[in-house]
Chains A and B, each alone.
Chain A
Amino acid sequence: MAIFKKLLNGLSRTKQRFVGGLKSLLVGRTIDAKLLDELEAMLIQADIGVKGTMKIIDDLRTASSEGRIEKGEEVIDFLKNELKTYWPEADRAIHFAESGPTVILVAGINGAGKTTSIAKLAYQFHSGGKKVVLAAADTFRAAAVEQLTIWADRIGCDIIKGSAKDPASVAYDACDAAIAREADVLLVDTAGRLHTQDNLMRELTKIRDVVGKKLPGAPHEVLLTLDATTGQNAIQQARAFVQAIDVSGIFLAKLDGTAKGGIVVAIRNEINLPVKFVGLGETYEDVEPFDPDTFVEALFA
């Protein structure tokens, strides 16, 4: 149960800071303008963003004027319910291929945590009895291939490295290998790129298209790795990546810090993109499927 403990530890830190504040803020008070102002400050500091915060505050104000809630204590439950509706069960599951290997393409900006996140996913699938192949398609960053190779060795799964500098050709070869080795899951690592670099974003589109050509229906999942400490720019990131490669979900990395990852609320609001996994540490075991209950609990408890 090491993972579970880690999650609790990680989240409880978020909890302590946020909740400690929120509880003492709310207890024994009635909902008035001053309280809403203070609440607004807290939500903004959780990176939920001005728009997202305003929406929540407006909903609260309406609920209070309609008499649905009165006391400060009730605010927490209200917020919990409101935020939980953001992430329905259905879109959090991984979409597997009906036959042949399931291809998962992983992308994100520089330093978001793609390679580590891939190691975590590989371990999850591997320990679940699936045959996993990694594609080292980050041919740009110094020693990125070496980094992924070390992870593959530690986990005990296969890795496909290309001789060419072209990431799309590495992905293509990896598809071949995944089919030949009858792998269940193929995880494609890509180089970090800023969403503003159009040529690099086109390269990403090409990788996806090449994979799709080789294996109809692939990639079955396209995950955007997002650093939980990222601010409002994450919305722009998500938008650009969705446009380039049709992202199907978010891997929210580095949630074990003090950042609350509130940005996923904003992203859900703006572009309706679900979170699928959360990363909570540096080893390959530190991963959890995203659970809105726990997430919201950690934000507001």
Chain B
Amino acid sequence: MFEALTDKFNGVFRKMTGRGRISEDNVREAMREVRTALLEADVHYEVVKQFCDDVVDKAIGQEVIKTLRPGQLMQKICHDELANLMGPVDSRIYVVDPPPTVIMMAGLQGSGKTTTCGKLAKYLDKKDKSSLLVACDLQRPAAIEQLGVVAEQAGTGFFRVEGETNPVKVARKAVNHAMANKIDVVVIDTAGRLHIDDEMMKQAEDIAQATKPHQIYLVCDAMTGQDAVNSAKEFNERLELDGVILTKFDSDARGGAALSVKQVTGKPITFIGVGEKLDDFEEFHPDRMAGRILGMGDVVSLVEQAQETFDQEEAEKMQAKMAKGKFTLTDFMGQMKQMQKMGPMKQILKMMPGMSGNAAALDMISGDEFSKMEAIIQSMTQDERDNPDIIEASRRRRIARGCGMQPQDVSGLVKSFNQASGMMKQMAGMGTRDRMAFAKQMASGGMMGGGMPGKTKQRSKRLSNKQRRKRRRQKRRR
């Protein structure tokens, strides 16, 4: 989503790279473009001003570092400043004992409160916490029904009071209900309201007063313009927010609100909504986000996402196999299936360093490649899958016929499998830290772009006479 901003930064820095060091003039020139980019991203006017001033100050003060190229130095300064602006964040939800922990959602109309309630319930469920969604939006027609459906989709409890028109009473009853039934977390959905609607804001205050929430979140649309700070400020003053949940982050909005809200209210963005499904919900990480803005990739998120999806036990088994070098094509296929579970390949690759700007490459590596690989592997016999080395020209032709592809596609797959298993063997022996570094090195070396299967040219595997004789000798010896 921050892509356009990334492009701008890169453009500015590309211009600066190659100059000996940063002078005040070229810093100011760079910042003019950065300023426009940030304003176009809906970062609040005052915040932009502050940001640019800070960066200029820092950059000018750092003339001493002449070893770094200026573009890199500017990138680092901008990165740190951006991260500063958005952080620090502690997304953890502290659950109280005895239960329930009360969480209240508030926000403008249409910001996405009801959907976010469902996402939060799903998130809590992953952390083994039970939750109860409470319908306190008695304003909008069918809002209660909507929350009911969402609760069902999330597989969590749902609480409503038939015929009740006072949300304060509903909220109070819900908390008592949770207390009696030992439900860990109560999530109160409230009606959307304008921050200048005094009566409705008073009602929100009353709900908060009656239920004493442990956390109050403001739900804010990532596409909000300059007015984001006004509403966030007012909600914060009335309700003492604990954090902000930014929704609709999967759009192409550059989400300047993320930069502004923390600055103006002092309250951090804690979570982001990234899609229509209830699983599309992530913790917010300012440093990673800053890295993403600057095109530095988001490796940590990728690893975390992988950890969440991969079956731990399965992974350990796999790792043992890899270490011994006994990794087969069957295992390889299993791994691919798991990777596909993580989400669309494009989305995953976007998190890799250096990949975010490379749209063409991203399109090339689509889900189609995976289904092709799968087809090839499924056309092999079990022996061939266990030991791909036995695949020679005739087997290759048979497999190609079986999956409707060319023989070179088959050899391409085998080749990249051999490469991959070699790397995996290497990685399996490393600690986590080394592995991360290795992955980074791989990515920066352009491993992701080039070596996709099916694209390698076939090099004949036909053996020379000499080799054939040698093989025969070996067989006889066995």
Chain A: residues with CB nearer than 8 A to chain B? 13, 41, 44-47, 49-50, 109-113, 141-144, 146-147, 149-151, 194-196, 227, 229-234, 236-237, 254, 256-260, 263, 282
Contact A143 B226 (CB under 8 A): no
User: Contact check: which of B109, B141, B276 meets A146 at CB < 8 Å?
Assistant: B141
With A45-B226, A109-B248, A258-B196 given, is the CB distance from A147 to B142 under 8 Å? yes
Given A112-B110, A194-B251, 18 more contacts at CB 8 Å? A44-B39, A45-B44, A46-B226, A109-B248, A109-B251, A142-B114, A142-B150, A142-B153, A143-B148, A196-B252, A227-B110, A227-B221, A229-B228, A230-B224, A231-B253, A233-B251, A254-B109, A259-B230
Measured between beta carbons, the chain B residues less than 8 angstroms from A142 are: 114, 145-146, 148-150, 153
Contact A257 B195 (CB under 8 A): yes
Measured between beta carbons, the chain A residues less than 8 angstroms from B253 are: 231, 233, 236
18 A-B pairs (CB sep. < 8 Å): A13-B196, A109-B248, A112-B110, A142-B148, A142-B153, A196-B250, A196-B251, A229-B224, A229-B227, A231-B253, A231-B257, A232-B254, A233-B42, A233-B254, A236-B253, A257-B108, A259-B225, A282-B109
User: Contact check: which of B139, B194, B257 meets A257 at CB < 8 Å?
Assistant: B194
With A142-B149, A233-B223 given, is the CB distance from A113 to B251 under 8 Å? no
Q: How far is the CA of A94 from the CA of B233 in the complex (A)?
A: 39
Q: List the B residue with the shortest CB-CB distance to A112.
A: B110
Residues from 119 to 157 in B contacting A, C-beta threshold 8 Å: 139-143, 145-146, 148-150, 153
Q: How far is the CA of A256 from the CA of B196 in the complex (A)?
A: 9
Q: List the A residue with the shortest CB-CB distance to B253.
A: A233
Contact B149 A143 (CB under 8 A): yes
B91 within 8 A of A: no
B111 within 8 A of A: yes
Interface size of B by CB at 8 A reads 45
Residues from 33 to 68 in B contacting A, C-beta threshold 8 Å: 36, 39-42, 44-45
Q: List the B residue with the shortest CB-CB distance to A153.
A: B141
Q: List the A residue with the shortest CB-CB distance to B35.
A: A50
Measured between beta carbons, the chain A residues less than 8 angstroms from B142 are: 143-144, 146-147, 149-150
B295 within 8 A of A: no
Contact B196 A111 (CB under 8 A): no
Measured between beta carbons, the chain A residues less than 8 angstroms from B148 are: 142-143
Contact B251 A231 (CB under 8 A): no
With most chain A CB atoms within 10 A of its CB, the pick from B111, B145, B223 is B223
With A111-B109, A254-B110 given, is the CB distance from A232 to B196 under 8 Å? no
Contact A257 B141 (CB under 8 A): no
Measured between beta carbons, the chain B residues less than 8 angstroms from A229 are: 108, 221, 224-225, 227-228, 231
